[in-house]
Every structure is written in structure tokens, then in C-alpha cells.
A and B are shown apart, each in its own frame.
Chain A
């Protein structure tokens, strides 16, 4: 398999960048690119202490697979892609998503990582609830999926 997609319970097993890079490594690939999403300690002027990620896992994994297939069609079949998105609560500094792409040349690897994260942010059924230092929590306003048919 050239693609690995996964929703992982990050309260049990943290995401691992070395696992992602190892998966996309191949003798014919001269480049490996890595993207990680990290919980930061502020958003829109509010101090954040953690984020909970809610995921509809079956459909999320299917959307990840579709996005990866699109990326391989655009940037070439030799591409190997790893996507793991966290589900559960993370504190500041925790990894929420790890994407890695391996390809013969660096251009494709960078492009694939960028494409995959942008598409996930607008298409995949994942929701983020921020927890603030003042004790309040709020679901982040997101992207509506395509309009009603």
C-alpha cells in the first residue's frame, strides 16, 4: 500500500512523526516532506490550554483516502502518503495531525503535504473544541460542507 490513513485516539497513543516518515520512505523516493498540526496557546486573542478533537471516524478515513488518491493523481503514482488525525483531547504543544509525503523529488512532496492538509481542513468531518485558561470552552467555527442539494 502506498497510502496510510488513520484516525487515532490520541489519549491512548500519541501521533509519531518518525512513523510517518518511515512509511513514506522508498528506494525510489529522494524526498520526504512532513506537516504537523500543533495545539498553540492562543487563538483570536484568547489563551488556550488545550483542544479536543471530535471525529466521525469512518467518513473521515474515507475522505482522507479520497484526498490522497487525488494527490497521487495530481503529483504522481510514486508518491507515498501517510495521514493520521487525532481524536480526543490534547494540551498545548500536542500533535493533532501528521501528514508525510514521499516522492522522487521535493516539489511533489511539498505540494502533496500542502494539498492534503488544505483539503482535510475543508472537507473532512473533524471538529475542534478549544479550552481556554479562563475555564470556558468553544467549538471553533469551521467550513460548512457543500450546500444542500
Chain B
């Protein structure tokens, strides 16, 4: 106990912590500040801490979704608003599908002892290793020529579900294993069918696992760029794709692009603050148990 008290008194230690926090959060704060600046302020040489915050950049980005017409926008480009809706639809639907399907599969694997746990964790690992860049060529080829679902949201959702399933199955099975089997047997005694047991008994117990799994899935579907870029057409583009498309070599409109970046970053940031414990559990479980 004595050394802990000593630690609390060491000012260098606190200085280190402050420095670390500034380093890890600083770039994000800088992006937020830039997104609230006019381009004049961004380009000016003077100190950048004092400026008039403005929402203009956000208005420019979201112009077709606002209930009023912002005065400074001469030409309203609907690309970003549409991309935001696409991103939301794709991320939410693929998360929901992945969770439902993954849950059922994890339950079957745990309760009915098909394959050993080794098979499951090895498959998960192998799938985790596959980089999206590797899927790029075949997915593009198959989606375009065989399934003919390129350029549709359905096509993008299908890849995301497949990409996330192994991890979700694996993390959920580690939660389902902890559900006492007696509980299920009792329910079965009372006349519940297998589906009722699953939906009414098992699912409510593994809620924390579901939370962790859904955050991870949503994050990947929301942030993914490469496959969305290859599969999407003009109408199904997601936010990361529009951001990269609007990056040109010269003359970048930093204010607006930072505002779009901020909008893309907001959902994950909210999740982090709401559910950091589940996220950390999911992350550590992934490494410690392989």
C-alpha cells in the first residue's frame, strides 16, 4: 500500500499521463477544431487556437439533409448526404444479420458439440488473417459476373456479413459456454422448443457478449473502404469512399473534409464512451485466448 501512496504524489507521473492523453486525443481534437473553422482561419498564419467556431462546413456537407437552405452554399452537392444514409443502412443491416446468424451458429457449435473448439478458433484466426485487399479481386469478379449484385447495397452487406461472421461466432461462443445448461434443461422440461429456449433463455443472458460483438461488427462495416470502393456505384457509395474520392492532390477543402471525417468518426467515438468495458473485454478475449 505504501508505494501506491507514493505514486500518487509523484508529479512526473501525472505529467506523463497528461502528455499521453494529449497525444492520443490531440489529433482528434485538432480535427474537430478544424472542422469548425472557416478556410480563411485554417490557412491564416496566426495562432490557430482562437477563432470563431462555425457550423458552415457541416452545413455544406449535409446540405441536402437540412430543413433550411444554408445561405453560403451556392451549389448543393448531395453526394455526402446520400453516402451517409448508405453507410448507416449498410452498417446497421449487416450488423443485425451478422449477429442473428452468428448467434445461432455459435449456439449450435457450443450446445450440440459439432466440432471441437479448436476448429472454431482456428477458423476464426485464419479468417481474421485474410486482408480485405485479398478479397478484392475475387469478390469484384464474382459479384460482377456471377451474382450480378455489384453496385447494390445488398452486395456490400453480403461481404461484410461474411467477413465478420467468424469473429462474431467465436466471441459469442465464449459467452454461450458460460450459460448454465441446467437453465436450458429446466426450460425444456417446461415444454419449450429449441427455438424458444434459444430466444427466450439464452439470448437474454448473453447480452454483454452481444453488445461487444455488435460494436465490433458495426465498426468494421462502418469504417471499411476498400471493398465498398470496388463494389459500390454512384448510388451506393459509403462515406469512406466519398471521402477518399474528394481527396485530390492539390486544393483540398480542409474545412469540409474534416467535417465529413468528423461525422464518420462520431458513431465509433460514442460507442467507445458508452461501452468501453465491453470493447476492452472483446479485445482482450481475442488476444488472450487466441
A and B: real partners?
A: no
Residues on B lying within 8 angstroms of A by beta carbon are none
Residues on A lying within 8 angstroms of B by beta carbon are none
